[in-house]
């Protein structure tokens, strides 16, 4: 008899609990002065032996109950056959190297045990029937060979195989098979086999093929064993999670997209999943998935965190729990520093060039970002250093000096953002001359909008509408219907751009008379946006339209490349970048999911990435400055996840080569186990009945009170 | 501390009743029946009110002339009924469930009620308390104020020691010269097989005997659960027992004892009344008087 969970047999000690309780907690009898002691004495004589026997039986039954419970939980079973098969005996003198896949998908629970448990069982069963030499290679987080020399001492293999734990990585099986070939190559002459115990998906992966037969040695036979025995292994998994701001829903609103896959042949109806923040469920949802299909569930949530907060998307648990949760950090809102150059300042606030701009980016409205705006006049701008800013806005600025133009060029090429808006003061020729390398298109002249449209309509319209939108552009991502939101704006004037066919830039928004209204362009590491209208109401009414606010916020994020909160998890074993901007932090303490702390120094080479390599466990990694810095308590952390490529355990059914007498496969097929926990549960039930019978007492009746 | 047994409200309620001794001890009436000794004594004792059944010739016409009420002249020796109340004061009678009187208190109240009824109808009532051996004895008297002497004695009687009902009966058999009523109030826990035989023997000597077995509800229901160290109230003997396991057997034993006692007594023409202290005394006495037993 063997046990699937032999460690649980320690529960047999629980059988001692009833006698211990009896001995330790014997109650002191209550003393009662009673007149009819004679009747008690007579009754006592007649019942004491039966009573003691009953109590003894009761204690025995209770001890047995606990012992049997521990026995059942340990999952006892009988092996199907312990006699070596004739075929295996024929293989005497052969060599077998077992390769056990211990990647994270092997934690899949099938029939109350993990696939890894099934692999163990199969190896043990083969060892029972095998006569020859064997070795063991394990493909876990890394490839190890606990029994690296073929040996006939199978006890060593049995011991090692018990200690195998499922890892957190995938993809080491091919290396393990190659290692097995190396081991088997050194074996003495005779049949040589490499038996790989893995999932159907693992067997279908690219595995190295054995070397052909040589003069002195037959070819090594590679035998792939599906530890699930072809049983269906349906699984559902979260593949990734993406966060993006949802300014259209209000300040602090974010959109969370969870991509979920159904790796099974059955459809899933209303699969429950939820978003939890700081271990509290925020939003629940359901998802329908067709067989083999991926789907995206979108949550909207408000995030007010000032510090990094752990969050996760969690699926309803299934047989493989590892991929049912995807963790990520909600990072503090990114800080965006804007230098806005006001080319048309006005003491009347509503007439000021940047009045609507500043309000659209006010801190209480800037969803997912902390915006700091510094407004300068053009002459002051000429003296400003741009390194302290993320975005420069030229609002109705007539012109800038060539030196500042060069500074702007360098600023953009190093990753800065530049937004140029038009106005009556703009001098196109001068701007073209200074910013020609940055402008998406050459500026030509101011024109009244609507002429072309009015010609088409045969009317006399004084304004144009925004009508053409590039919906794939990140700037317009927040808008479900840009035409409905932004299309109501009227444009009375705009800056005409060079219509050359080879003109650069991407037209994001255009008016209905065909003029580009918003054009963007990437310049090296930076981005430039050109608005052919104004940021105030001089050339149109877009600033007072509801869509202006999310448009501007998203535009600023686009220019600074912080449009999306980084949620891409680091896969187990890969290096995680340490996202610490503050240069004062030279060393961080990283606390892993298991509580261990690692100290990581910032590299002396500023250009070298600062990364953390010991990502061996999935989960949250918390980053704190070491030593602590005043005003800097928490730093953005990162999350580590298992590779979702392992979530699909399905694969083609493993077929034996035709025409071969395959004794090992025959032995594997005979590796049936007879589980005994059913019988143990029946025994438990009978014992409970027996205990009930022993405790059963007839309804008490007294002697008639009087007669 | 002297026990309080005289409940005047109870006595007032019983005042309207006449103790039909026959219903207690098979039809021996006094004051309500012919006396075989009428005219034998001339010592005037008191007047009492005429009740139907009294002979007209015994009416004191002079008194009728004075008071316009029919009165019967009673003489000291006129009554033909002497009642002996034997009250068990052994240690086992000192048991009582919480909220209920002890068996002794209950038995004393029963004895007082019976004495009240007997004396009120002109019969003589005497008292003998007993434990291991006979205790105080008050000879039967038919005087009304004799009740208070009986009551005082019942209230002051100490409790303790083993039960010896047989000894008490033997003692009263020597005292009772002519036929009398002997009312034994006890739990009968002396387990002496001679008790029924002696009672039957007294009956053969034309005495009327009635046994009032007073029991506590705990003795009849045995409501104990956990492991208990029982201590005998008379001998201080101790016995550790699990009441749950032996309850059925206990109930069988005590039921058998009571049934055997009852059968033995009834076969000997001796009245038997079982009284549980949870039953109000008034109701128990009424049950006895009304012949419900």
Structure confidence at residue A586 as a pLDDT band (50, 70, 90)? confident
Q: Could you tell me which residue, B1 or A494, shows the higher pLDDT? A: A494
CA A171 to chain centre: 18
pLDDT at position A384 over 60: yes
Other CB atoms within a 10 A radius of the CB of residue A666 amount to 16
> In B125-138, which positions are buried (b, 16+ CB within 10 angstroms) versus exposed (e)?
bbbbbbbbebbebb
CA A530 to chain centre: 38
Q: Are B121 and B19 in contact (CB under 8 A)?
A: yes
Other CB atoms within a 10 A radius of the CB of residue B163 amount to 26
Q: Do B239 and A41 touch (CB under 8 A)?
A: yes
Residues sharing a CB contact under 8 Å with residue A638, sequence separation 6 or more, in sequence order: A329, A569, A570, A576, A577, A578, A579, A612, A621, A623
What's the rounded Cα separation, in Å, for the pair A501 and A481? 29
Q: How is residue A629 written in tokens?
A: 């810095």
Domain boundaries, chain B: 8-23+79-289, 36-75
Q: Nearest by CB to B253, which of A34, A39, A706?
A: A39
User: CA of B254: which chain A residue's CA is closest?
Assistant: A39
Q: Do B244 and A39 touch (CB under 8 A)?
A: no
Q: Do A31 and B228 touch (CB under 8 A)?
A: yes
What's the rounded Cα separation, in Å, for the pair B183 and B169? 10
Q: Judged by CB atoms within 8 Å, which residues 213-242 of B form the interface with A?
A: 216-222, 224, 226-235, 237, 239-242
Q: Do B227 and A29 touch (CB under 8 A)?
A: yes
All structural domains of chain A, each given as residue ranges with its CATH number in brackets, are: 2-76+680-695 (no CATH), 81-232+649-671 (3.40.50.410), 250-327 (2.60.40.10), 335-560 (3.40.50.880), 570-639 (2.60.40)
Which residues of chain A neighbour B234 with C-beta distances below 8 Å?
A: 35
Helix, strand, coil percent content, chain A, rounded in steps of 5: 30, 30, 40
Q: Nearest by CB to A31, which of B229, B234, B246?
A: B229
Position B30 scores a pLDDT of 41
Q: Could you tell me which residue, A385 or A697, shows the higher pLDDT? A: A385
pLDDT at position A89 over 50: no
Q: Nearest by CB to B230, which of A34, A46, A707?
A: A34
What's the rounded Cα separation, in Å, for the pair A188 and A174? 24
**CATH for B8-23+79-289 (2.20.28.10, 3.90.850.10, 3.40.50.410, 3.30.450.20):** 3.40.50.410
What is the least distance, in Å, from the CA of A695 to any CA of chain B? 10
What is the least distance, in Å, from the CA of A684 to any CA of chain B? 26
Residue count of chain B, please give it: 293
Query: pTM of this prediction?
Result: 0.52
Position A455 scores a pLDDT of 56
Helix, strand, coil percent content, chain B, rounded in steps of 5: 40, 20, 40
pLDDT in tens, A268-288: 999 999 999 888 998 999 999
- How do beta strands B228-232 and B238-241 pair? antiparallel
Find the farthest-apart pair of alpha carbons in chain A and give their distance in angstroms, rounded: 127
Q: Judged by CB atoms within 8 Å, which residues 248-277 of B form the interface with A?
A: 248-255, 257-258, 262, 273-276
What's the rounded Cα separation, in Å, for the pair B29 and B31? 7
Q: Nearest by CB to A703, which of B95, B191, B255?
A: B255
Q: B interface mutation test: which of A52, A703, A705 has the most B CBs within 10 A?
A: A703
pLDDT in tens, A180-200: 998 888 777 778 889 999 998
Q: Nearest by CB to B227, which of A27, A697, A707?
A: A27
Structure confidence at residue B24 as a pLDDT band (50, 70, 90)? very low
How many beta-carbon pairs below 8 A join chains A and B?
124
Rounded to an integer, the average pLDDT of B69-92 is 79
What's the rounded Cα separation, in Å, for the pair A115 and A96? 21
User: CA of A51: which chain B residue's CA is closest?
Assistant: B245
Rounded to an integer, the average pLDDT of A416-431 is 93
What's the rounded Cα separation, in Å, for the pair B220 and A706? 10
Three-state SS at A115: helix
- Both ends of chain B: CA-CA distance in Å? 34
Average pLDDT, chain B: 81
Q: Judged by CB atoms within 8 Å, which residues 28-67 of A form the interface with B?
A: 29-44, 46-48, 50-51, 54
Check whether the bond before A627 is cis (ω within 30° of 0). Answer: yes
């Amino acid at each position: 008899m063997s046990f699937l969970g032999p460690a649980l047999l320690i529960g047999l000690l629980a059988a001692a609990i009833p006698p211990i309780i009896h001995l330790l907690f014997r109650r002191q009898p209550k003393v009662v002065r009673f007149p009819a002691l004679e009747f008690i004495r007579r009754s006592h004589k007649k019942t004491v032996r039966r009573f003691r026997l009953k109590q003894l039986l009761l204690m025995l039954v209770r001890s047995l109950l606990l012992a049997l419970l521990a026995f059942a939980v340990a999952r006892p079973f009988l092996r199907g056959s312990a006699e070596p098969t004739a075929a295996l005996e024929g293989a005497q003198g052969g060599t077998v190297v077992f390769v056990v896949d211990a990647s994270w998908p092997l934690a899949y629970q099938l029939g109350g045990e993990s696939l890894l448990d099934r692999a163990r069982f199969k190896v043990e069963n083969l060892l029972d029937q095998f006569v020859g030499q064997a070795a063991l290679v394990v493909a876990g987080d890394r490839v190890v060979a606990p029994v690296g020399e073929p040996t006939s001492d199978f006890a060593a293999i049995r011991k090692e195989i018990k200690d195998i734990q499922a890892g957190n990585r995938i993809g080491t099986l091919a290396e393990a098979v190659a290692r097995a070939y190396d081991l088997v190559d050194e074996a003495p002459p005779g049949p040589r086999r490499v038996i790989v115990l893995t999932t159907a998906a693992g067997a279908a992966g690219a595995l190295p093929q054995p070397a052909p037969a040589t003069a002195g040695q037959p070819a090594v036979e590679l035998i792939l064993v599906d530890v699930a025995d072809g049983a269906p292994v349906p699984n559902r998994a979260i593949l990734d999670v993406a966060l993006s701001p949802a300014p259209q829903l209000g300040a602090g609103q974010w959109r969370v997209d969870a991509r979920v896959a159904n790796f099974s042949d059955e459809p899933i109806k209303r699969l429950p999943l939820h978003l939890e923040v700081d271990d509290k469920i925020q939003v629940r949802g359901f998802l329908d998935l067709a067989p083999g299909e991926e789907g995206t569930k979108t949550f909207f949530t408000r995030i007010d965190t000032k510090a990094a907060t752990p969050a996760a998307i969690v699926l309803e648990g299934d047989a493989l729990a590892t991929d049912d949760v995807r963790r990520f950090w909600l990072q503090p809102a990114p800080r965006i520093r804007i230098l806005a150059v006001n080319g048309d300042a006005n003491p009347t606030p509503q007439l000021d060039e940047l009045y609507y701009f500043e309000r659209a980016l006010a801190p209480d409205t800037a969803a997912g970002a902390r915006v700091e705006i510094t407004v300068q006049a053009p002459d002051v701008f000429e003296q400003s250093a741009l390194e302290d800013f993320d975005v420069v806005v030229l609002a109705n600025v007539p012109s800038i000096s060539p030196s500042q133009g060069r500074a702007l060029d360098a600023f953009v090429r190093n990753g800065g953002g530049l937004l140029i808006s038009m106005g009556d003061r703009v001098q196109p020729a001068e701007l073209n001359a200074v910013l020609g390398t940055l402008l998406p298109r050459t500026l030509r002249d101011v024109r009244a909008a609507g002429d072309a449209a009015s010609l088409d309509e045969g009317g006399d319209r004084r304004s144009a509408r925004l009508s053409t939108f590039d919906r794939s552009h990140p700037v317009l991502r927040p808008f479900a219907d840009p035409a409905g939101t932004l299309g109501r704006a009227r444009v009375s004037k705009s800056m005409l751009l060079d219509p050359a066919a080879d003109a650069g830039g991407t037209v994001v928004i255009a008016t209905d008379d065909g003029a580009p209204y918003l054009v963007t362009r990437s310049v090296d590491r930076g981005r430039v946006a050109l608005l052919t209208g104004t940021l105030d109401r001089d050339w149109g009414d877009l600033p007072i339209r509801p869509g202006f606010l999310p448009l501007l916020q998203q535009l600023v994020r686009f220019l600074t490349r912080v449009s999306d909160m980084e949620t891409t998890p680091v896969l187990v074993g890969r290096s995680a970048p340490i996202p610490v901007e503050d240069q004062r932090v030279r060393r961080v303490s990283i606390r892993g999911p298991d509580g261990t702390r690692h100290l990581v120094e910032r590299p002396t080479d500023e250009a070298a990435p600062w990364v953390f390599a010991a990502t061996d466990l999935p989960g949250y990694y918390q980053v704190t400055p070491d030593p602590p810095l005043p005003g800097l308590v928490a730093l953005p952390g990162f999350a580590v996840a298992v590779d979702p490529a392992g979530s699909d355990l399905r694969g083609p059914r493993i077929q034996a080569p035709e025409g071969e007498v395959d004794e090992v496969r025959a032995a594997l097929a005979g590796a049936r186990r007879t589980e005994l926990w059913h019988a143990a549960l029946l025994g438990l039930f009978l014992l409970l009945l027996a205990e009930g019978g022993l405790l059963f007492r007839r309804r008490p009746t007294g002697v008639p009170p009087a007669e | 501390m002297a026990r309080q047994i005289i409940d005047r409200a109870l006595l007032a309620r019983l005042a309207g009743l006449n103790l039909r001794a026959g219903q207690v001890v098979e039809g021996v009436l006094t004051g309500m029946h012919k006396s075989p000794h009428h005219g034998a004594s001339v010592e005037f004792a008191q007047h009492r009110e005429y009740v139907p059944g009294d002979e007209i010739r015994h009416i004191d016409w002079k008194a009728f002339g004075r008071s316009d009420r029919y009165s019967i002249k009673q003489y000291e020796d006129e009554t033909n009924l002497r009642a002996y109340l034997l009250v068990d004061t052994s240690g086992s009678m000192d048991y009582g469930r919480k909220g209920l009187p002890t068996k002794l208190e209950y038995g004393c109240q029963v004895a007082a009620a019976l004495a009240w009824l007997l004396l009120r109808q002109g019969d003589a009532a005497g008292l003998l308390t007993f434990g291991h051996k006979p205790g105080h004895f008050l000879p039967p008297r038919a005087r009304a104020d004799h009740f208070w002497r009986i009551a005082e004695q019942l209230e002051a009687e100490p409790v303790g020691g083993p039960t010896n009902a047989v000894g008490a009966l033997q003692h009263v058999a020597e005292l009772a010269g002519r036929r009398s009523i002997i009312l034994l109030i006890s739990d009968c826990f002396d387990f002496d097989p001679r008790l029924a035989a002696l009672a039957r023997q007294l009956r053969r000597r034309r005495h009327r005997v009635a046994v009032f077995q007073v029991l506590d509800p705990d003795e009849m229901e045995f409501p104990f659960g956990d492991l208990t160290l029982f201590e005998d109230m008379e001998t201080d003997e101790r016995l550790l027992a699990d009441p749950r396991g032996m309850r059925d057997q206990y109930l069988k034993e005590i039921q058998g004892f009571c049934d055997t006692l009852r059968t033995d007594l009834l076969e000997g023409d001796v009245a038997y009344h079982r009284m549980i202290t949870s039953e109000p005394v008034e109701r128990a006495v009424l049950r006895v008087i009304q012949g419900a037993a």
